[in-house]
Each structure stands twice: as C-alpha cells, then as structure tokens.
Amino acid sequence: MNNYWQSLKLITTLLIITILGKITYSPRLLAESVVSHSNSIKFIPPPPPPDRSAAGDRGEAASRGCGSREQSLMALVPSYQQTINLNQEQTIPVTKIWGLTTSEYPTFWFFIPYHQSAISSMEFVLKDESQKPSKTIYRNFLSKPEIPGIVSVSTKTHTPPLEISQTNQPRMYHWFFKVRVKCNPQQPAKLHFVEGWIERTELNSELGDLEEIRFAARFEQLTSLEKVAFYAEKGIWHDAVTNLAELSLANPNDDRINFLTEWKSLLQSVDLENLANYPLIDCCESVK
C-alpha cells in the first residue's frame, strides 16, 4: 500500500512539473493576451515623458457663454500632474497631456459643448516635433456637429504615417484642436483650444521573431472588447478609446455588451467620467 501511494505521489509531482514547465516557457505577453472580462475596462497609465516634454492642456476650465451645462471643450486623453525641479530650491508644476498609439494613422476624440449655431469654425493641427524647427504635417478645418457631444478626428489619408518612437530617437507629435465660438452675434468669435502630444509605439516590441508571430496569432483570436481591455491595460490610450468608441458606434443595439458601462469605466480611469453620458457623434470631416 505504501508503494502505491508513493508511486501516485511521484506521478502527480511529475505532472505538476510538466505543466509548470509549459507555462514557464510560454511567451510572456502571449499568456497575458488572454484578457479576463470579469472586471470593467480600466486604463493603466504608463509613465509620461521626462522633464518638460508633453506639456499641454486638455481643457479643465468650465465653459462660459453658450457651452452645454457649463462644460468646457475637452480632449479625451490622459492628464498627468507633475512637479519639475528647476534646481535644489525651486520647482514648478507641469500638466502633461500625452498618450500612446500603435496606429500609423490615429484617431483623436474631443468633447464639444457647443451647438452648431455657436461654432464659427473648427480646426485640427498636427506637428512633428522631432524636427527643429517643427514641421506641420496636418492642418485642416473640420465640419461642425449639430449638437454637443463627443466627436472624432481621423488622420488617415490626410497625413504621412506616424513614425515609431525609439529609445535613442523619440518621435513626438504635437496636436492642437481649435474651436472658434460666437455666442453673441454682436461680438467677434472667441478661440477655445486644447493641445497635447501623441507618441507611436509597438505593442510587442520586446518579443523575438517567433514569439511575435505567436503573439499576433493569439491577439487576433481575442474579441473586439478583449482587445480594448488589452490596449487599456498596456497603457495604449488612443487605441483603447478609439476601438471602444467605434465598437459602440457599429453596434448601437447590441444587448450582449453594456457599452455604456465599459465606456464609463474607461473614461473614469482618466478622470473624465462626467463626459460618459454625452452622445458619440458621427463628425467631423475635413472641409476645404
């Protein structure tokens, strides 16, 4: 009997070692790509660029005049509050507006609190700041939404592809979204704008060639919502928000997924949950 239990214990031990060995030698990110959806989507912010890089303004002040519910023009991007040391005795506060993407042609999202009748013009500008002087790679006026809500600005077909940022050669792109508002016909239009930075990265940059192939195959097996969660967990903000917003727009009557819950959770991760109930509006195209 003792020999039987000793044999059974040995077999069990060998099975555990075999299983653990398979797990240990699986590609690290390949295992992580299976996202559990027991919890709502949450963005995990990566560390922003060092020093004073990426200073900007996503629009925190309340709107005046003809804005909706005293909300301000707002960019749907992460905001980082930091302190920069000028010297041993002096420091300054810095607000950094910065996000990552893996896309050659990222989409940007903004909340516009104004009705169409109050908007004089809207303009989006994208600059390549890796060059000195900086180079404007996109600048165009946009069509106006009819009602207050969240709109998107696509750069595809309008700009050269964003270059991937390298450790020894960072590629930083500076964007501006400008809205000229005319609440009173008797007064000139006032300029409201937000600005920030975007950087392109690789999702699987630390993998070898074989692991990269396995990762790509496994990633394609994820559902659309699992991909959103994966981007959010990896700190790839622009891909997470774009994929979730486009998924919601493409499936407005899908009862299997509570998009509003996931949307609120994602925006809450960057302290923008107050915008979650505003509609996603199919706008805005470039106009000549």
CB under 8 Å to 272, separation ≥6 — which residues?
74, 76
How many C-beta atoms surround the C-beta of residue 59 within 10 A? 23
**Hey, where are the domains in the chain?**
33-287
Structure tokens, 68 = 């909706």
> Quick check: 105 pLDDT over 90?
yes
Task: Indicate the pairing of strand 190-200 with strand 91-101.
Answer: parallel
pLDDT at 7: 47
pLDDT at 61: 67
Q: 32-36, 83-87, 135-139, 180-184: which range is least confident on average?
A: 32-36
Over residues 175-210, the pLDDT tens digits come to 999 999 988 888 888 999 999 999 999 886 554 555
DSSP annotation of 254 reads: -
Token pair 């075999």 in the structure block, residue? 18
Q: 126-140, 247-261, 263-277: which range is least confident on average?
A: 247-261
Phi, psi of 57 (to 5 degrees): -150, 115
Over residues 57-81, the pLDDT tens digits come to 999 765 555 655 568 999 999 999 9
How many C-beta atoms surround the C-beta of residue 158 within 10 A? 15
- β-sheet bridge partners, residue 142: 286
> Quick check: 252 pLDDT over 50?
yes
> Do 132 and 168 contact (CB within 8 A), yes or no?
no
Q: 34-38, 47-51, 90-94, 262-266: which range is least confident on average?
A: 34-38
Among the four given CATH numbers 3.40.50.720, 2.60.40.10, 2.60.40.1930, 2.130.10.10, the one describing domain 33-287: 2.60.40.1930
Residue 149 identity (one-letter amino acid)? G
CB under 8 Å to 172, separation ≥6 — which residues?
49, 53, 54, 129, 130, 165, 197, 198, 199
Peptide bond into 133 cis (omega under 30): yes
pLDDT at 43: 96
User: Cα Rg for the chain, rounded, in angstroms?
Assistant: 23
Structure tokens, 126 = 């994208």
CA–CA distance, 239 with 218 (Å, rounded to integer): 18
> Quick check: 17 pLDDT over 60?
no
